[in-house]
Structure formats: structure tokens, C-alpha cells
Structure 1
Amino acid sequence: MADADTQLKKVLKPIHLWAIAVALVISGEYFGWNYGWAVSGTLGFLYATIIVTILYITFIFSYTELTTSIPHAGGAFAYAYKAVGPIGGLIAGYATVIDFVLATPAIASSLGAYINFLHPELPVLYVALAFYLLFSVLNIIGVKESAIFSVVITILAIAELLLYLGIIAPSFKTSNFFSNGMPFGWKGIFAGLPFAVWFYLAIEGVATTAEEVRDPKRDVPKGYIAGLATLVVLALAVSILTGGITDWRKLSNIDYPLPEAIGIVLGKDNTWTKLFTSIGLFGLIASFHGTVLAYSRQIFAIARSGYLPGFLGSVGKRFKTPHAATITGSLIGIAVLLILQSTSQIIILSVLGALTMYLMSMISLFVLRKKQPDMPRPFVSPFFPVFPGIALLLSAVCMISIIYYNPLLSAYFFGGLILVLFGYVATGRHKRPISDDLLKETLA
């Protein structure tokens, strides 16, 4: 068995998992998705959102089979390692780290933009850096404490979105929503796919807390399914109602679409507008906190298995949390924030990581069904092989679309993957046995 220096505390319950699932994603309802309007129009983006919603429904029901069968903090890394070996594990691990680590600078930038909207004297960048410091510390203090925080902040974020919908709904006009709804034709639907993915991106991060769940076989499915249902309703409601209050082009290229939308409806100096913008930070904070939690566990798990320097795979003696992995992930995110100051570009890179991880996970599911049909599966993917097949197909469609419309960013992402693979193979690490006792047990 793994020693105490590499074991995480089992403290999480279904309510915590639901909160973490929603918290990881809910900022996607607050910003980022509106960039999809700029390349799709309102109607084109709605079609893109429906496609991506089907992708996530089929993916989560399939992914939960892997999460409950192999409750490991590495998530997709562990599943791919068991299914297709060290190289597959490395690809999935790289993709998942990019997914979570690059989501945080996008959220941090939007946090800065929200606060700058209220207080123009506060620079966006400095506010973003302050949030990195605050939530790195919170996640180091302890997972139970941060999970309780997730529950509270998630409930507040959902309440705020419901308040937002109630305020703008009376101003919704179908003529606004359908006006110039597909200016780029059917091609625009594919261009909008990465921004539709942003509505749900990072919900898979619940898997990285599997080792900290008291009863992962029963509790993980409950958390995933409840979280996804909550997010589907909110994503569709926010995008549709917001698109009908004004000319959507006024909201398609900013980091704070919801405060701007309320400002259009009520006036920017209205008390409700200022109040909403203030409490609007709840949703962004919830996701920022959740992604810090997710990437720290992912880096920790990969390092514990020998893929990264050993100090990243240790936990603190006092709080039993992966402090070194948390700090390292935060430093990488800050560097990306300083180098890539375009939120839409950061989102696309994060989505590339997510889709690569989805592809590897669904491939792993099919391989494990064939190689190990008798492996204990507390939760079985419904409608197999249809659900994982749809998830695999739609992930591939989204990936091809992003590569077509964003060749340079795609080259950065895959270039990084090639460098990582080359270094891994050149040093012979792919031939060495893993050092993670917990993962060894799942391979038995």
C-alpha cells in the first residue's frame, strides 16, 4: 500500500461532489461562451450548444463507469494507463493538465474584468494574481474545508444566475435572438463548438477527487449526474435569454457579458446592475476554486506515478493535501496569463486538452470492456456501446473543427504533446515500472 506521504484523506460525500462538479463548470455560464456568438451567431451557437450538450450527456454517463471502476486521483491518466499502457497514460495526463491548468487563467482574467467593471481603478491583471494566491492557499489548507466552501459558493452562484434570468426574462424578444442568427451559415456551428464546450468543460474534474470520496462506487455517479443536470438547464437558459435582450453583437467579445446584459436592461448605474456584478463573482470564484482543486490532484497523481518529479507527488504532513502540485500548477497558470492575454485563445487551448482527454477516455472504456470484461464495474455505462460511441464521435468532430479554425493554437498544443512524448521515450521512462502503489492495485 502507498505510504502516508502519498495518501489523500477520504472525506467527500455526494453533496460535495455535486458542488465540485457545478463549481468546476459554472463560470462557463458567466463568460466565455459568448465568444461563440462572434463566430456562429445566436442561432448557430444554439445548434453548437445542443451538439455539445449531447456530447457531455453521453460522455459523463460513460466516464462514470471508469471513475467508479478505477477511483484514482489521476482520472483519465489512470484509465488510459490501464487500458493502453504508459504512452496512452502520458497523453491523457498531458491533456488533462492542459485542460485544468489553462482553464484557470481564463477564469482569473474574467474575475479581474468583473471587478474592473465595478472598480476601474483596479487593474485586471493584479486582481487575477491576487485570486491565484488566495485559492492556492485555500486548497492547501484542506480538501474538506475547500469542499464545504464549494457547496456554499456553488449555491450562491446558482441563486445569482436564477436572479439574473428573472431580471432579463421580461426583456427577451424572439426578434432579437433570431436577427442575423446564423451570419456565417452552417460553418459557423462548427466554429462555435469550442465555446459551447466551455459551458461544461472541467466537469470531468470530479474524477480527480475519487480517492478522497468516502464511497466512490455509490457517491461519484450521484455527484456527476446531479451536477450535469444542473449545468444543462443553466447553460441553455442563460444563452437563450441573454441572446434575446439586445443586438447580440454588443455582448459577443467581452469577458463580462452578464453584467453588461443587465446594464442594457436596467442601466449601468442601476443598483441591481452593481449588485449583480458584485455577487456575480460567486460563479467565477466557484469555478476558479474548483479547477485549482482539480489540477493540483492531477499533477499530484501523475508525479506519484513517476511521470513528473517526485516532490510533486507528495502531500503535506499537516493538511494531507498536494501542496507542491498546487503551487506548481498555479505558477504555470500565472505564466500563461502573462503570456497569452487573449481569453478566447486560452479557452481554445483548454478545450483542446479536454477533448483529447475525452477521446482517450472513451478509447480506454472500449479497450477495457474487451481486455477485462470481468473487471468490477459498480456503475455500467447505459446503452453501451451507443453512449460512449456518440461521445467518441462528437469529441472527434469538435477536435477536427478546432484544428481547422485554429491551426496555430492547435500546433502549440500538439507541439507541446510531441515534446513531452519525445522526452518521455528518450529518457526510457516508458520502460520503468510505475511507482504509484494505488495505481498498481488497479492493474492487478
Structure 2
Amino acid sequence: MQKADTPGLKKVLKPVHLWAIAVGLVISGEYFGWNYGWAVSGTIGFLVATLLITVLYITFIFSFTELSAAIPHAGGPFAYAYRALGPVGGFVSGYATLIEFLFAPPAIAFALGSYVHFLYPAVPVLYTALASYVLFIGINLLGIKESATFSLVVTLLAVGELLLYMGLVAPHFEAANFLADPLPFELPGIFAALPFAIWFYLAIEGVAMVAEEVKDPKRNIPKGYIYGLGTLVLLAMGVMVLTGGVANWQRLSSIDYPLPEALGIVMGRDSNWTQLFASIGLFGLIASFHGCIIGYSRQLFALARSGYLPGFLAGVNARFRTPHRALVAGGMVGCLALLTGTTDQVIILSVLGAVVMYIISMISLFSLRKKEPYLERPFAAPFYPWFPAIALALSAVSLGAIVYYNPLLSIIFFSGLFLMLGVYLLLGKHRRKITGDALLEVK
């Protein structure tokens, strides 16, 4: 619990900022990472996987927005699960969300390094990735309004760039390329590709973590989510289909820079358009990297403020009103991940955290509808209970597929969860009710 005289977070964000954060958090998923799905399922198999995951996110976001608008808390999913399911549910949701947002940035940092290396082969990938953490943690320390304005600028540039990319490659699209060996691994391949399809949309739910910094959150959070999701669906489908039809997709299925590589194939690696795209392509990665830093810092801050993590992480800088300690601590974890993992592995860990959180969030929505029928809900999930039920079912299928095809990483993820949960229970922290936070108190 924070002391009364402790500086709080500033309420300055508007719908346009939320759109920028929502799209910015995710848009790097259109630049890289998803193409690993081709390696396990082919183009048609991955298209099927992506359509399934698109349905998951449409139903999930429309359901999740009910929670975000009703309980605008920096903890996001942790806060919803705590209120609906109690301290243990809150802990599990908080752990899963933290893993998602701590391990998404290293994957993006790897891609940033790869894009720079594509342009300047003498520059090592790892050096660029580590430098990215230092630079963008520094930007985030300056304040949420400044960070959100930066997100808006780079997100607009990134969206414009993807539209330019689609315009450049569309004349070179050939259906024969997209349909070449389209479903090499059939149904098992589709299930194996689900985590890479999730990467198209992963982290859009991070908007919930700036809820305490939004003006009129009960009206503006739904707007940010809905506009952001619509933008991302159009970009994801356009980029995936057009890229698969301009070149040999197998050649693009295992690299961190598929878009400039595809453009280099059809227009020449030394083409001015290829070089320009690779240069400004960094904006999409920067937007997501920057947004995920906002996400993990607010999650660390909220968990520490509520007693789930050491209290010093809940410190807020008196001048800039930003959670400076959480920003630095999460950055240290990300840098360690850079030194030990590879892009596809950290993507899987991040997706594991996300899917577990999605499941708990939908269970929390059903629970709160039953426990608190009179809770003010400025936005109600449409087609209830079907939308949250579909999101819950598809999330459970995705979790099963990820665990089946990635047993070692799943063991690491769940071992960490049970170890930390055991410590939490042994210390008796589950018996300490969070006080002084009206948003977490059942009415």
C-alpha cells in the first residue's frame, strides 16, 4: 500500500494515445516473429492458425475491455483476478502477465539488432539490442505523457511504413508462391503455429496497464482497444498474405527481418526502396519495444504496490511521476534474457504468459458477473456469454498446443510459477488483504 504523501501516476492519456499504445505494443509482430509459423505449418496452415487466433483476440478484447473499463487499475489482469478470484488468483495472473511483458522486449530487441545488422553488417546484433534497453528506459523515465507522445509518432510512422510495404510488394504477388507446399505438416503444424500467430496481436492488452494514467478511463479505454484491434487485424492479414506471395516462403521462415528480405528479393537488396524500408522499419520495432517497457514497468509497479513483489519497486519518481525502479529492474531482466535466449524461445515464453493470463481473465469476467452483478460496467462484453466463452476455449486450446510442442520451455515457465507461488504461500502473504485500494475491494 502506498503512503498518502507518495506521488501517484498522472492522468493525461486520451484515446489517440491509447490507440498508439495498443498498436505500438503489437506492431512489431507484423515485422518479424510470425514468420516462424511458416516453418512449422506452411502458408495455408499458418493462415488457418492466424484466423483462429484473430477470432480469439476479437472475442477476448471485447470481453477484456469490460474488465479494463470497470476496474481501471495499473495492475490490469492482476487486479481483475485479485478482485474476482482472491490473492492466489491475483498472484498467478500477475506472474503470467509479468512473464509476457518481460520477455516480449528481448525478442523485439533481438529483431532491432537484426535490422541494424541488415543495414550495417559490421554492427553486432547483441550490442544494438542492449543499447536499445538503455535508450528507451531513459525515454520512459521522462514521464508518461512524453512516452505516449513518442509512441504516437513512431506508431504512425510504423503503420505508414507497413502500408507502403504492402503497396510495393502487391504488384509482385503470385498465388503460386503462396500456395507452394502450403500445408506440409497438416493439423499438427497448425497447432504448432499458434504461438507465432499470437505474436501478431500479443500485448495489445497492455493498454490496461496505463489505466490509472487515462483521462476518463471508462469511456476512453474501450475506444483505444477497439480502434487498435481493427488496425492490427488489417495489417496482420495484409502483411502475411502479400509476403507469402512474393518469394519462396521457406527462405523467409527462419529470419528476424522477413519484410526487408522479401522486398530485397523483389526489388533488389541494393534498391533505394529496400534500404529505406529497412531503415524506417526500425520504427515499428521501436514502437513495440517502447510500449512493452511501459507495460512491464506498470505491472512491476502494481504488483510491488500490492505486496506481491518487494515494495521498493513501487517507488515513483517525484519529478517525472514514473515508476523508475520498476523500469530499471525489468530492463535488467530483459538484458539477461538477451544474453541467454534466442528470438523464438523468448517469443514462446512471452506467449505462454499471455495465454495463461487470457484464461484467468476470462474466468475472472465470469466470476465477477456472478459475484458483483451491480458493478458499474461502462462497457459490457457483447454477445455474453458467448464471446468470453469462445475466448476462453481458444486460449485453452492454444495453451495445450504450446505446452505439447514446447515441453522444456513450458516446464521452465510453470516451475517458476509454482516455485514463486510456494514462496508466496509459505510467507503467508495470501492472508494479507490489500487495503486502501478501492478498485480491488468487493462492494
TM-score range, shorter chain: over 0.9
Asked if the contact 1:104–1:291 (Cα under 8 Å) also holds between the matched residues in 2, the reply is: yes
Q: Structure 2 vs 1, CA of residues 135 and 48 (structure 1 numbering), >3 Å: closer, same or farther?
A: same
How far apart in 2 are the matches of 1:216 and 1:424? 32
- CA displacement at 1:201 relative to structure 2: 0.2
For 1:384, the equivalent position in structure 2 comes to: 384
1:295 maps to 2:296: yes
Q: Deviations over 1:311-336 (max 9, x none)?
A: 11121101011000010011001111
Q: Deviations over 1:40-75 (max 9, x none)?
A: 100000000000000000000000000011000000
For 1:122, the equivalent position in structure 2 comes to: 123
**Structure 2 runs not aligned, ≥5 long:** none
Instruction: Compute the RMSD of aligned alpha carbons.
Output: 1.0
For 1:310, the equivalent position in structure 2 comes to: 311
For 1:327, the equivalent position in structure 2 comes to: 328
How far apart in 1 are the matches of 2:5 and 2:366? 34
Amino acid at match of 1:428: G
How far apart in 2 are the matches of 1:92 and 1:56? 18
For 2:420, the equivalent position in structure 1 comes to: 420
1:443 maps to 2:424: no
How far apart in 1 are the matches of 2:439 and 2:11? 19
Asked if the contact 2:39–2:250 (Cα under 8 Å) also holds between the matched residues in 1, the reply is: yes
**DSSP 3-state at the match of 2:186:** coil
For 2:277, the equivalent position in structure 1 comes to: 276
- CA displacement at 1:7 relative to structure 2: 1.8
For 1:192, the equivalent position in structure 2 comes to: 193
Asked if the contact 1:72–1:439 (Cα under 8 Å) also holds between the matched residues in 2, the reply is: no
- CA displacement at 1:439 relative to structure 2: 4.8
Q: TM-score, normalised by structure 1?
A: 0.98
- CA displacement at 1:106 relative to structure 2: 0.1
1:394 maps to 2:394: yes
How far apart in 2 are the matches of 1:127 and 1:369? 47
The 5 A counterparts of 1:3-42 are 3-5=4-6, 7-42=8-43
How far apart in 2 are the matches of 1:42 and 1:67? 35
How far apart in 1 are the matches of 2:146 and 2:335? 24
Q: Structure 2 vs 1, CA of residues 397 and 273 (structure 1 numbering), >3 Å: closer, same or farther?
A: same
How far apart in 2 are the matches of 1:310 and 1:345? 31
Amino acid at match of 2:10: K
Q: Deviations over 1:119-152 (max 9, x none)?
A: 0111100100111001101111100000001111
How far apart in 1 are the matches of 2:415 and 2:188? 27
- CA displacement at 1:438 relative to structure 2: 2.7
How far apart in 2 are the matches of 1:322 and 1:171? 48
Amino acid at match of 1:98: I
1:89 maps to 2:78: no
Q: Structure 2 vs 1, CA of residues 15 and 184 (structure 1 numbering), >3 Å: closer, same or farther?
A: same
**DSSP 3-state at the match of 1:356:** helix
Asked if the contact 2:101–2:203 (Cα under 8 Å) also holds between the matched residues in 1, the reply is: yes
Asked if the contact 2:7–2:318 (Cα under 8 Å) also holds between the matched residues in 1, the reply is: no
For 2:403, the equivalent position in structure 1 comes to: 403
For 1:261, the equivalent position in structure 2 comes to: 262
The 5 A counterparts of 1:24-423 are 24-340=25-341, 342-423=342-423
**DSSP 3-state at the match of 1:141:** coil
Alignment: residue pair count: 442
Q: Percent identity among equivalent residues?
A: 63
Q: Structure 2 vs 1, CA of residues 440 and 44 (structure 1 numbering), >3 Å: closer, same or farther?
A: closer
Asked if the contact 2:44–2:183 (Cα under 8 Å) also holds between the matched residues in 1, the reply is: yes
Q: Deviations over 1:418-441 (max 9, x none)?
A: 011000001111111225x23566
How far apart in 2 are the matches of 1:143 and 1:2? 21
- CA displacement at 1:442 relative to structure 2: 4.1
How far apart in 2 are the matches of 1:423 and 1:86? 14
How far apart in 2 are the matches of 1:411 and 1:110? 26
How far apart in 2 are the matches of 1:58 and 1:296? 27
How far apart in 2 are the matches of 1:117 and 1:360? 40
Q: Deviations over 1:224-253 (max 9, x none)?
A: 000000000000000000000111000000
**Structure 1 runs not aligned, ≥5 long:** none
How far apart in 2 are the matches of 1:15 and 1:148? 9
Asked if the contact 1:68–1:379 (Cα under 8 Å) also holds between the matched residues in 2, the reply is: yes
How far apart in 2 are the matches of 1:439 and 1:274? 52
Amino acid at match of 2:427: T
Q: Structure 2 vs 1, CA of residues 391 and 440 (structure 1 numbering), >3 Å: closer, same or farther?
A: closer
How far apart in 2 are the matches of 1:39 and 1:371? 43
**DSSP 3-state at the match of 1:5:** coil
- CA displacement at 1:216 relative to structure 2: 0.4
- CA displacement at 1:3 relative to structure 2: 2.5
